[in-house]
A and B are shown apart, each in its own frame.
Chain A
């Protein structure tokens, strides 16, 4: 375009200012994308949750257990295909800070319900035959550099005096869904059952159900909760995504925190670039007046100012996104599975570009309208 020289020449008028403005765009967009990715990681389990799965927990709270025998009654309800019971284990591997979720599972049904999780057949067979067997997610294995055949000790004081439980790593599960969970530790129900005090035997932490069809979710959920109403262990049945969302909330409202930080970054960027554009346009009042005098329209002058701020925004924005694109996999790899996997999605990148464009236009708008309204005679008289 023949006007591009006019736009670009003006960009380079104050090189330091250009570098600073482009830099603030780059940093802000990098931060923004990074936050979006972390936020996505925390909400991914909710998004990836199976629509045809329900989770049954104790109405009082997740840490309260329920009679194991409930499982048989749940299985009878029409529309329920498979049921698996889980329990929280809560052991410590070497150090408290090496936290990862450990589930006591029902080996017969776990994979029937969690259809997106896969364990190689031979590994699964070994696990079934091994009372002290364990299966872990691929990420978790990577985090502690575990290999099949390793012996893993977990300390657990929840069931009597501190005791070391020994496990044999028999298998590693993977998740079909990109970015889906691969960070759990599974142990055998029987091994657990034999080693806990009698008073807590016969209890299960929660059930996960697979339904014939997602359409049955509401009806089945109601049937379960109604069935156990007024018993001493009332249940609360939710879709898996509702359950995951509730679970994520227990980590504190990370989503809100991230959104708040993101908004602050966004508004700071808007103010900084808006101010820079205003100054840069004010410096050129007489030049803009001359352009108008020689026949450039008011609308052109507005376009000209907007184009300039848009170019700054896009250069800075793309730099920031590029930086995020390069840095996020590196950061993700160094987190060693402490956070859910960090995935830079096309949506996050698209959102970043959109954001840069928005800030670019918004910050050019006020000075642009000012330049548009500028009267040539007043501007020339001012110099």
Chain B
């Protein structure tokens, strides 16, 4: 169950309570998130939408432990990450989060195989175990025949699939995707989305995804909108707009 009212029970995988994020820019305080609540269960697939500057990336960065909130708490699988030290948080990210960014962010001097292997170098896995995991991940994204290609030898869609393989190779607790199809044409975007669908449907992954594209968002179980620093469900937003329009 995905909830935004802060009343989720203790079984939620991700539990966000009263999340605030304030940036100061030139002495001016910008409140981006204001008391945001969210509950996500294991195997859920959530899409975040909202106008540019509404704080989608900010929210994702906080959920992924890349940034710390001004107030509020984030608990993942029982661990409250909002009070972890920087080095603890780094270890936690390695273990629990798979990132897929809009820009594919592969290391250009490493092959697809080597890029996907990067998160595994931090584990105690043996070389042959690493190889098995990397081959499996590249198999899932359909790039078994491109393992030894360098990023510049791959198309945008293929690069993004390598990024997805890198995100899932260490079997993280959940995946965060910030506009994963933002830089791709329709066809590649559809392929990536089919892949993400498969990760949820077949492999039961938990995915939180930011997108501007309603067609992409439609694939998710639930679409949430960032509005004035909090999340609202799509239909509630619609009702609000209608109510506002009637007034």
Residues of A bordering B, CB below 8 Å:
2-3, 5-6, 9-10, 12-13, 286-287, 290-298, 375-377, 380-381, 383
- Chain A residue numbers with a CB within 8 Å of B99 are 290, 293-294
Provided the pairs A5-B114, A377-B61 are in contact, do residues A296 and B105 lie with their beta carbons within 8 angstroms? no
Provide the bound-state CA to CA distance between A296 and B86, in Å: 12
Decide yes or no whether B17 CB sits under 8 A from chain A: no
- How far apart are the CA atoms of A380 and B95 in the complex, in Å? 21
Q: How far is the CA of A10 from the CA of B110 in the complex (A)?
A: 9
Does B118 contact A291, Cβ atoms closer than 8 Å? yes
Q: Which residues of B contact A375 (CB under 8 A)?
A: 67
Residues on B with beta carbons closer than 8 Å to the beta carbon of A2: 121, 127
B121 touches A9 (CB 8 A): no
Q: A3-B121, A10-B109, A380-B101 are in contact. Are A295 and B91 (CB under 8 A)?
A: yes
Q: What sequence of 0s and 1s flags, for each residue 100-123 of chain B, a beta carbon within 8 Å of any chain A beta carbon?
A: 010101011110001000110110
Query: SS class of chain B's interface: helix, strand, loop or mixed?
Result: helix
- Interfacial chain B residues near A10, Cβ < 8 Å: 109
Contact A286 B119 (CB under 8 A): no
Residue on A nearest B150 in the bound complex, by CB = A9
Q: How far is the CB of A286 from chain B (nearest CB, A)?
A: 6
26 contacts between A and B (CB under 8 A): A3-B121, A6-B107, A9-B107, A9-B114, A10-B109, A13-B108, A286-B103, A287-B107, A287-B108, A290-B101, A291-B118, A292-B90, A293-B64, A293-B66, A293-B99, A294-B118, A294-B119, A294-B166, A295-B95, A295-B119, A295-B122, A296-B90, A375-B67, A376-B66, A377-B67, A383-B103
Top 7 A-B pairs ranked by shortest CB distance?
A295-B94, A9-B109, A290-B105, A376-B66, A377-B67, A297-B90, A294-B119
Chain B interface size, as a band, is: 20 to 34
A289 to B, closest residue via Cβ: B105
On chain A, the residues within 8 Å of B95 by CB distance are: 295
* Alpha-carbon distance A9/B111, docked complex (angstroms): 10
| Smallest CB gap from A2: residue in B | B121
Given A6-B110, A9-B110, A380-B101, A293–B93 Cβ distance below 8 Å? yes
Excluding A294-B99, A297-B90, 15 further A-B contacts by CB distance (< 8 Å) are A5-B110, A6-B110, A9-B107, A13-B109, A287-B105, A287-B107, A287-B108, A290-B99, A291-B118, A293-B64, A294-B94, A296-B122, A297-B91, A298-B86, A375-B67
Q: How far is the CA of A381 from the CA of B102 in the complex (A)?
A: 11
Q: Does B128 contact A (CB under 8 A)?
A: no
CB-CB under 8 A from B24, the residues of chain A are none
Q: Which of B33-92 contact A (CB under 8 A)?
A: 57, 61, 64, 66-67, 86-87, 90-91
Question: Bound complex: CA of A160 vs CA of B67, how far in Å?
Answer: 93
Q: Is the interface of A mostly helix, strand, loop or mixed?
A: helix
Which residues of A have CB within 8 Å of B122? 295-296
Q: A5–B106 Cα gap in the complex (Å)?
A: 15
Q: How far is the CB of A16 from chain B (nearest CB, A)?
A: 15
A12 B109 Cβ-Cβ under 8 A: yes
When A291-B118, A376-B66 are in contact, do A298 and B90 touch as well, CB less than 8 Å? yes
**Known interface pairs A12-B109, A13-B109; A297-B127 also in contact (CB < 8 Å):** no
Instruction: Find B93's partner among A3, A295, A298 (CB 8 Å cutoff).
Output: A295
Smallest CB gap from B87: residue in A: A297
- Of B99, B103, B107, B114, the most chain A CB neighbours within 10 A belong to B107
Cα(A380)–Cα(B105), bound, Å: 9
Write the nearest CB–CB distance from B156 to chain A, whole angstroms. Answer: 15
Residue of B nearest to A293 (CB): B99
- Name the distance in Å between A136's Cβ and chain B's nearest Cβ: 62
Whole-angstrom CA separation of A5 from B94 in the bound complex: 20
Q: Is the CB of A295 within 8 A of B67?
A: no
Q: In the complex the two chains form, what is the Cα distance from A375 to B66 in whole Å? A: 8
With A5-B110, A286-B105, A287-B105 as given contacts, are A377 and B66 in contact (CB-CB < 8 Å)? yes
B 100-158 contacts with A by CB, 8 A: 101, 103, 105, 107-110, 114, 118-119, 121-122, 127
Residue of B nearest to A296 (CB): B122
- In the complex formed, the residue of B with least CB distance to A294 is B119
A308 → chain B closest CB, angstroms? 12
Q: How far is the CA of A383 from the CA of B108 in the complex (A)?
A: 16
How many Å lie between the Cα of A286 and that of B127 in the bound state?
Answer: 27
Closest B residue, CB atoms, query A12:
B109
Contacts of B93 in A (CB 8 A): 293-295
Cα(A287)–Cα(B99), bound, Å: 13
Chain A proximity of B198: nearest CB distance (Å): 22
B-chain residues with CB within 8 Å of residue A376 when the two chains form the complex:
61, 66-67
Task: Give the docked Cα–Cα distance between A295 and B91 (Å).
Answer: 6
Chain A residues with CB under 8 A of B110:
5-6, 9
Which chain B residue shows the least CB distance to A376? Answer: B66
Q: How far is the CA of A286 from the CA of B151 in the complex (A)?
A: 15
**A contact residues around B86 at 8 Å (CB):** 298
